[in-house]
Structure 1
Amino acid sequence: MEESGRIGGGSQAVINLEPGSSVPISYHPCFGPHEDLLLLEADDNLVSDIFNGRVTLRGLPDEDAVLCTKSKTYAIKFVGNSNSMFLIPPSICLGVSDTENNDKPLVSVIKIAPGNMELVEVSPRLDKLKKLLLENPFCAGEVEEAMIDDDDGKRDLPLLYTWSDLVNTIQASDEELRDGLKCLSAIEIDGYWRVIDENYLDMILRMLLHNCVLKDWSFDDLDEDEVVDALVADEFPSKLASHCLRVFGSKVKETNKWKLEPRLVCLHFARQILREEKMKLESFMEEWKKKIPEGMEERFEMLEGEVLTEKIGIETRVYTFSVRSLPSTPAERFSTLFKHRPKWEWKDLEPYLR
Structure 2
Amino acid sequence: MDAEMEDAETQAGIEWDGGGGGADAVLGLATGGASVSLCYHQAFGPHDDLVFLEAADDLLPDLLQGRVTVRGRPDEEAVLCTPSATYSMKFVGTSNSVFLIPPGEPSAPCLRPDNTNGDASAADAVAAAIKLAPGNIELVRTAPRLDKLRSLLRERPYILDEDLGDGFQHKKGLYTWQDLCKLIQASDGELLDGLNTLSAVEIDGFWRTVDANSVNTILDMILHNSVLHDWPLNAVPENDVLSVMESDGFTHKIVTHCLNRFGTKVEQEARSFWSLDEKRVCLQFARRVLGAGKMKLANFMDKWERSVPSGMCVDLQMLEGEVLCDKLGAETWVRAFSVADLPLTPADRFAALFSERLKWEWKDLQPYIRDLRVPGVSSEGLLIKYTRRTQPSSEAEPIFTAR
Structure 2 length as normaliser, TM-score? 0.78
Secondary structure of 2:148 counterpart: helix
Structure 1 residue 136 corresponds to structure 2 residue 156 = yes
1:78 lines up with 2:91 in the alignment: yes
Q: 1:170 aligns with which of 169, 174, 184?
A: 184
Equivalent pair of 1:10/1:96 in contact (CA under 8 Å):
no
**Residues 159, 210 of structure 2: 8 Å contact kept:** yes
Report the counterpart of residue 34 of structure 1 in structure 2.
47
Question: Does the CA-based 8 Å contact 1:30-1:110 persist in structure 2?
Answer: yes
The AA in structure 1 aligned to 2:122 is: N
**1:11 is aligned to 2:27:** no
Per-residue CA distance 1:287-313 (angstroms, 9 max, x = gap): 111111110000000001111111122
Q: 1:339 to 1:93 in 2, by over 3 A?
A: farther
1:297 and 1:93 mapped to 2: Cα distance? 78
Corresponding position: 1:63 with 2:76: yes
Work out the CA distance in 1 between the residues paired with 2:182 and 2:120. Answer: 50
Q: 2:324: which partner in 1?
A: 308
Structure 1: distance between partners of 2:91 and 2:292:
44
Written as runs of structure 1 = structure 2, the 5 A alignment for 1:245-324 is 245-253=259-267, 255-275=271-291, 277-324=293-340
The size of the alignment, in residue pairs, is 340
Task: Report how far residue 269 of structure 1 moved.
Answer: 0.9
> Does residue 333 in structure 1 map to residue 333 in structure 2?
no
**CA contact under 8 A between 1:59 and 1:66: conserved in structure 2?**
yes
Read off the aligned partner of 1:347 and give its amino acid letter.
K
Distance 1:80 1:153 in 2: 49
TM-aligned CA deviation for residue 348 of structure 1:
0.8
Q: 1:110 aligns with which of 130, 141, 145?
A: 130
Deviation at 1:99, TM superposition (A): 5.6
Question: 3-state DSSP class of the match of 2:66?
Answer: coil
- Partner of 1:127 in structure 2? 147
Q: C-alpha displacement at 1:141, in angstroms?
A: 4.2
2: distance between equivalents of 1:227 and 1:276?
A: 31
Give the CA deviation at 1:96: 6.9
Change (3 A) 1:49 1:315: same
Paired residue type of 1:53: G
Identical positions, percent: 52
| Counterpart contact for 1:9–1:96, Cα < 8 Å | no
> Deviations for 1:42-67, whole angstroms, at most 9, x for unmatched residues?
12231111111111111222211211
Give ranges in structure 1 of 5+ residues lacking alignment.
1-7
Give the 3-state SS of the residue equivalent to 2:360 in structure 1: coil
Separation (CA, whole Å) in 1 of partners of 2:328 and 2:235: 44
Residues 194-209 of structure 1 mapped to structure 2, 5 A cutoff: 194-209=208-223
1:3 maps to which residue?
none
Match of 1:101 among 100, 119, 122: 122
Deviation for aligned residue 1:227: 0.9
Instruction: Compute the TM-score of the two structures, normalised by the length of structure 1.
Output: 0.88
- Equivalent residue, structure 2, for 1:21: 34
Q: Residues 11, 207 of structure 1: CA spacing in aligned structure 2 closer, same or farther, 3 A cutoff? A: same
Distance of aligned partners of 1:276 and 1:168 in 2 relative to their CA distance in 1, 3 Å threshold: farther
Per the alignment, residue 217 of structure 1 pairs with 231
Give the secondary structure class of the aligned counterpart of 2:80. Answer: strand
